[in-house]
Structure 1
Amino acid sequence: MKKNLKPTITASFLAIAISAIACQNNSGKTAQTDSLKQDTSKFLTQPLISNIYTADPSAHVFEGKIYIYPSHDIEAGTPENDNGDHFDMRDYRILSMDSVNGKVTDHGVALDIKDIPWAGRQLWAPDAAYKNGTYYLYFPVKDKNDVFRIGVATSKTPAGPFKAEPQPIKGSFSIDPAVFTDDDGTSYMYFGGIWGGQLQRWKDGKYDANGSKTDSQKEDEPALTAKIAKLSNDMLSFAEPVKDVIILDKEGKPLLTKDHDRRFFEGAWMHKYNGKYYFTYSTGDTHFLASAVSDNPYGPFTYQGTFMEPVQGWTTHHSIIEVKGKWYIFYHDTQLSGKTHLRNVKVTELTHNADGTIGLIKPLKK
């Protein structure tokens, strides 16, 4: 789709069913409503759009609208493997809507891999932030040595287009940047992912290309975990050395490598509720979304439990925002395609329980 075309797509799945026209993505194929051949009643919610495949939705309220910064899945023809090479995305699109479940606008290409000077391949899950009159798009992509780094691009509007900085953020590595700005204006980046996200290949600040392809830890040792770094005032660099995000169980002991139902895998997100910091993440190969809470943005965080059961698809990647006094989670599954690498974004309401935990969400009806 050309950048100057901004079609408005209804979020109502009825309209998806009626519409026979789909805009082509850059692979020359379209996100067809294959789910119409399935029993759509088994899904808690329906896809927000069907003109393209989208995943990993990072949602924010900017300028009175909800803006969503997702990955843009395509059929690249890359063979599937445990490193995730089949997730071979090449640009970012930006979506917006005036209200949850309202009309969705596709703003076209916001950033293309060919316009990132240092990039090699695979534009994975991004995030966005706003400060000092500028919008920032943070993205992981493999450099020309096939090592994931995190870059940043800027724009004067939340819909883009964005212009990438000439180099990745110094000291950055791995995937899934999530930027949280606290009440005092300080911004932090949470990031990291194991397996295809390469976190297990980093030790003592150095990358080992021959390192493990999986967790890279002994089963009874503390699990690899996400990273955190405070951002500089200009939002373009780290203002401090990278630190670990420590997740403890209720007895104060670190989660172990063998604890695949609870340990961090990827997809970090941070939100603040009633003065508490909620670190939420995906357990990856066990497909849960989990939460941990702290009184400090650095942690340590105490594991709370699962708050979303597995979606249809390999795993999910989410964001949580407040809109007009209510909380919502944006996530993805594979309803439209039934294929792991061709996903679609969704949204549903999220609740905080009286005890401070997050209410359990069941994306599939039993």
Structure 2
Amino acid sequence: MRNHKTLLLISLLLTAITLVNAQKRRSNPIISHMFTADATARVWEDGRLYIYPSTDVAPSDGYTTMDGYHVFSTEDMITFKDHGEILHSRDVPWGVEKGGYMWAPDCVYKDGIYYFYFPHKNKDMVWELGVATSKNPASDFKLQGYVKGGKTFCDPNVFIDDDGQIYLYAVVGAKTYAAKLKDNMMEIEGEMVLQTGLDGHREGPFVFKRKDIYYLIYPDDYPKFNKMRYSTAINPLGPWECQGVFVDHTDVITMHGSVVEYKNQWYLFYHNGNLSGGKGHNRSVCFDPVYFNEDGSIQMVKQTLGVDLPTFHNAINFNEMFGTLPIGNYNKSDLKKQGIQPGAISSIQIPEGYVVECFEKNNYKGKVWKFEEDRIDLNDIGCSDIISSIKISKSKSENLAKNASFELATQAMVKYWYNRNFKPFARILDSTGLGYYSLQYKGKGDEKPKDLSQKVAIIPNTNYELSVQLKVEAGTKGKVIFDTNNVFDGSCKFELDANTKAREWVAFKGEFNSADAKEVNLRCIISPDFEGTGYWDNVVIKEK
């Protein structure tokens, strides 16, 4: 009995520690409602930490379509406020007419003015370093022109030393150049000089100073997925000495960020592709602590992602965190004891392998909503500020497909399902399917119909079962199709037309042996003669 009580006490203490730890910071990615990258973090006199990232638009046509700059800020590293857009290509009269080409920015403060630096191509398709200013850190920026002497450069970083001297660092041809800036913040003093000692340099320099050591961090040219290296110097213009990698790669090719101290802790801000499921042109800003050794060298940064337990928030977009809950049942009284306010939950983070059942009324009564994926805004499905009791359990799903019912999307882009320009595919609210959404195609086909696909890793010489639900609207011509891109289509190509059944879900199931294949490409596609509306839901692939 004593051992049982001891184990119970340890379990309760661990749960309490987890709950306390969950309150200390926002989980990655920290911006969940839009795609952002290349974050510069700054701390201003109001005591808040501000983030100035670039924006990956959706749908994206590569990095060329990046446009518009938002500002975000926090005072507790838990809730990050979106202050809205401060600048767009349409505000830049000297910029390229088609817009886009608004890459990694920076912002500094001098003599009561915030200076926002951004790279943008002019009408001759040559990079300029634009400058906008404001008396506020997150609004009212007015375009002032561009840096004189900075033509052909991008990825600006401005560093103000302890003595007030200002330095500009920027990139051309995968190399960083630097020079002093004049006091007007708009002109280079002298010439931009190549910075040496940046081994493997690719782009995105950021300079900071700590204990009389100057640090220049930069993404390297590591094949396929860039890592982050750093060099040090005793002078802000070098020469620099490369100290190696301090951030490993993420799930996208690019790596770009900044380092800042806030409330006696140093942090790295960077980006990954988690929000989009690894799509290289739709990235998401993250942060993690940075630690230094006694000699000033930087320890390898431990990248974190998501939450360990279901996490509940008072606001949408995973802001204003209440706390976390382990497996168990929680009525109103239980929720309050855990610091979670009944009737006030607006978003929920759910780690893989958990099921969260939310009830309209106390003691698990009234309408119920069942979730196995993150819910960034419960308003969409009608249960924000309503939930009064909760049950949490472990999932028994063996499904290898991710986002199998199309529940997760950002700016209409469905996570893990890939096509650079996803239209006319759309995730729609659908109460007739398995979850709360389904995938819809509305329009016409052509000789080469567009697909939305997901690659799933499989084990060679293994039997698998594949299933899906399909639906078509009455009057639709052609077929809605789900297949394996010709690899296992002999047994796993599923087709539905309106003559067979309309306005109702039809379940399909097939089996295949993987032979020597290590991957299968699951495709949602329509026939070339398609005209109308079709749907997909509940994709399941599992070992037989």
Query: Normalised by the size of structure 2, how large is the TM-score?
Result: 0.48
The yes-or-no answer on 1:133 pairing with 2:72 is no
Q: Partner letter of residue 69 of structure 1?
A: Y
Matched-pair contact (CA < 8 Å) for 1:45–1:363? no
1:274: how far off?
1.3
SS at match of 2:145: coil
The yes-or-no answer on 1:112 pairing with 2:95 is no
For the aligned residues, what is the CA RMSD?
A: 1.9
Q: Identity rate of aligned residues, in percent?
A: 37
Matched-pair contact (CA < 8 Å) for 1:152–1:169? no
Partner of 1:230: 180
Bigger mean CA deviation after superposition, 355-364 or 149-158: 355-364
Partner of 2:212: 275
CA distance in structure 1 between the aligned counterparts of 2:286 and 2:245, rounded to whole angstroms: 19
Matched-pair contact (CA < 8 Å) for 1:330–1:348? yes
Q: Partner letter of residue 332 of structure 1?
A: H
Matched-pair contact (CA < 8 Å) for 1:125–1:177? yes
Q: Indicate which of 89, 92, 97 corresponds to 2:69.
A: 92
SS at match of 1:315: coil
Query: Alpha-carbon deviations, 1:71-127, whole Å to 9, x = none?
Result: 01112442x4xxx43xx1221000011122x21110111011111111113100000
Q: Partner letter of residue 348 of structure 1?
A: D
SS at match of 1:292: strand
Q: Indicate which of 303, 308, 318 corresponds to 2:247.
A: 308
CA distance in structure 2 between the aligned counterparts of 1:166 and 1:336, rounded to whole angstroms: 34
1:309: how far off?
0.4
Partner of 1:20: none
1:239: how far off?
2.0
SS at match of 1:173: coil
Q: Partner letter of residue 186 of structure 2?
A: L
Partner of 1:292: 231
Partner of 1:49: 31
Matched-pair contact (CA < 8 Å) for 2:200–2:221? no
Stretches of structure 2 lacking an aligned partner (at least 5 in a row): 1-18, 20-25, 306-544
Q: Indicate which of 346, 352, 359 corresponds to 2:286.
A: 346
Q: Partner letter of residue 282 of structure 1?
A: P
Partner of 2:58: 75
1:288: how far off?
1.1
Matched-pair contact (CA < 8 Å) for 2:147–2:188? no
1:285: how far off?
4.6
Q: Partner letter of residue 76 of structure 2?
A: S
Matched-pair contact (CA < 8 Å) for 1:169–1:237? yes
Bigger mean CA deviation after superposition, 183-192 or 282-291: 282-291
CA distance in structure 2 between the aligned counterparts of 1:140 and 1:51, rounded to whole angstroms: 24
Query: Alpha-carbon deviations, 1:212-257, whole Å to 9, x = none?
Result: xxxxxxxxxxxx6301011111212212211111116xxxxxxxxx
SS at match of 1:170: coil
Matched-pair contact (CA < 8 Å) for 2:37–2:271? yes
Partner of 1:169: 148
Higher radius of gyration, 1 or 2? 2
1:318: how far off?
0.8
Q: Partner letter of residue 182 of structure 1?
A: D
1:168: how far off?
4.7
CA distance in structure 2 between the aligned counterparts of 1:364 and 1:50, rounded to whole angstroms: 15
Matched-pair contact (CA < 8 Å) for 2:146–2:186? no
Larger RCO (CA within 8 A; separation ≥ 6): 1
Query: Normalised by the size of structure 1, how large is the TM-score?
Result: 0.71
Partner of 2:261: 322
CA distance in structure 2 between the aligned counterparts of 1:146 and 1:285, rounded to whole angstroms: 28
CA distance in structure 2 between the aligned counterparts of 1:187 and 1:77, rounded to whole angstroms: 35
Q: Partner letter of residue 142 of structure 1?
A: K
SS at match of 2:235: coil
Matched-pair contact (CA < 8 Å) for 1:284–1:315? no
Q: Partner letter of residue 286 of structure 2?
A: K
Matched-pair contact (CA < 8 Å) for 1:59–1:321? yes
The yes-or-no answer on 1:186 pairing with 2:125 is no
CA distance in structure 2 between the aligned counterparts of 1:46 and 1:327, rounded to whole angstroms: 17
Query: Alpha-carbon deviations, 1:274-307, whole Å to 9, x = none?
Result: 1010111001453110011110001000111100
Matched-pair contact (CA < 8 Å) for 2:126–2:151? no
CA distance in structure 1 between the aligned counterparts of 2:302 and 2:231, rounded to whole angstroms: 19
1:352: how far off?
1.0
CA distance in structure 2 between the aligned counterparts of 1:54 and 1:273, rounded to whole angstroms: 27
CA distance in structure 2 between the aligned counterparts of 1:342 and 1:317, rounded to whole angstroms: 14
1:343: how far off?
0.8
1:171: how far off?
3.2
Larger strand fraction of residues: 2
Partner of 1:209: none
Residues 304 and 327 of structure 1, relative CA distance in 2, 3 Å threshold: same
Q: Partner letter of residue 66 of structure 1?
A: L
SS at match of 2:175: coil
CA distance in structure 2 between the aligned counterparts of 1:167 and 1:189, rounded to whole angstroms: 13
CA distance in structure 2 between the aligned counterparts of 1:77 and 1:347, rounded to whole angstroms: 24
SS at match of 2:90: helix
1:57: how far off?
0.5
Partner of 1:23: none
1:167: how far off?
4.3
Residues 307 and 265 of structure 1, relative CA distance in 2, 3 Å threshold: same
Partner of 2:484: none
Partner of 2:520: none
CA distance in structure 2 between the aligned counterparts of 1:342 and 1:238, rounded to whole angstroms: 33
CA distance in structure 2 between the aligned counterparts of 1:329 and 1:184, rounded to whole angstroms: 25
CA distance in structure 2 between the aligned counterparts of 1:168 and 1:236, rounded to whole angstroms: 5
